[in-house]
């Protein structure tokens, strides 16, 4: 049931999975000015009719393959008839600027549209995720453009919250695992936003979920967040879910924040609560 396929899409691998298929694809990106990759799980229901799409944004150092191989989401997506799409976390390539260190540059696009040189030409992950990638998915797969959700982990949880809050007409459901919920107030976020967007902190608010909610960039959809209490980055004050929770309470943004005892920041934590998150999205998208 796919639309007319795009000639710019390269099929890198295919694997049968829970009655559907997992594919890894690449394409030349207009937004990022390089070759980008993404993973897609197509559920068996897509053989009959277009299905809702759930986008997953991964965290620091990850690629398009971490989620699709580790999270165990395909089983639940197949049950509900949801397509899963997981893009890479940044532009990559010999001509793409990078910086030493794991928390900025390659693998660390932070889902922003950079405005500072030398990052501005390639690091446009916000527009890639919200505009270019969905267009490509709808052109090549049996995806329903009217039913989209978004979720993610850590840096990707930050990206999911930002994309969802700024585009309520595009995403009908939002959730996150251990998101960087107030990047303007943590070391990771201050480094990334400062380098990608410049020293004027007023420009950072557009990519800070807590500030977006404070400025009434809200959605009437209920947001679900899971956070492990044994997460070392929670103790290091990199995530700050309490800031997001307080702000949501102040302005009336519906939120469920679950603090999970004994769970850390990794994919064992994500896999444990994945069924809940897929169900959270399916209740909205599959109706």
What tokens were used for 121? 């030409």
| Whether the Cβ atoms of residue 22 and residue 64 lie closer than 8 Å to each other | no
Q: Which residues contact 120 (CB under 8 A, 6 or more apart)?
A: 114
pTM: 0.96
Measure the CA–CA gap between 92 and 286, rounded to whole angstroms: 35
Task: Establish how many alpha carbons lie within 13 A of residue 246's alpha carbon, considering only the half-sphere containing its beta carbon.
Answer: 6
Measure the CA–CA gap between 201 and 125, rounded to whole angstroms: 20
Q: Which helix (H) or strand (E) holds 144?
A: strand 143-153
DSSP at 63: -
- Tell me the catalytic residues: 154, 231, 265
Q: pLDDT tens per residue, the chain (287 residues)?
A: 444 445 589 999 999 999 999 999 999 999 999 999 999 999 999 999 999 999 999 999 999 999 999 999 999 999 999 999 999 999 999 999 998 789 999 999 999 999 999 999 999 999 999 999 999 999 999 999 999 999 999 999 999 999 999 999 999 999 999 999 999 999 999 999 999 999 999 999 999 999 999 987 767 889 999 999 999 999 999 999 999 999 999 999 999 999 999 999 999 999 999 999 999 999 999 98
Torsion sign over Cα 22, 3, 175, 80: negative
């Amino acid at each position: 049931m796919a639309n007319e396929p795009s000639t710019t899409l390269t099929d890198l691998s295919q694997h049968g999975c829970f009655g559907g298929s997992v594919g890894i694809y690449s394409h030349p990106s207009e937004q990022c000015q390089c070759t980008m990759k993404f993973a897609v799980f197509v559920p068996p229901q897509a053989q009959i009719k277009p299905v809702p799409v759930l986008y997953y944004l991964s965290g620091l150092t990850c690629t398009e393959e971490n989620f699709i191989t580790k999270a165990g989401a395909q089983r639940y997506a197949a049950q509900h008839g949801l397509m899963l799409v997981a893009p890479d976390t940044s532009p990559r390539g010999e001509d793409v600027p990078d910086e030493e260190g794991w928390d900025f540059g390659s693998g660390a696009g932070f889902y922003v549209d950079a405005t500072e040189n030398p990052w501005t030409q390639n690091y446009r992950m916000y527009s890639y995720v919200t505009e270019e990638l969905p267009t490509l998915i709808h052109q090549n797969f049996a995806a329903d453009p009217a039913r989209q959700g978004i979720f993610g982990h850590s840096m990707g949880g930050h990206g999911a919250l930002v994309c969802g809050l700024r585009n309520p007409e595009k995403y009908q459901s939002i959730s996150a695992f251990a998101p960087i919920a107030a990047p303007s107030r943590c070391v990771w976020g201050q480094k990334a936003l400062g380098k990608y967007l410049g020293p004027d902190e007023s420009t950072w608010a557009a990519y800070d979920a807590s500030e977006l909610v404070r400025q009434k960039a809200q959605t009437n959809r209920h947001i679900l967040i899971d956070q492990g209490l044994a997460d070392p980055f929670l103790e290091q004050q990199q995530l700050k879910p309490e800031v997001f929770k307080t702000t949501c309470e102040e302005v009336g943004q519906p939120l469920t924040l679950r603090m999970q005892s004994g769970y850390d920041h990794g994919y064992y934590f994500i896999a444990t609560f994945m069924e809940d998150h897929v169900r959270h999205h399916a209740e909205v998208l599959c109706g």
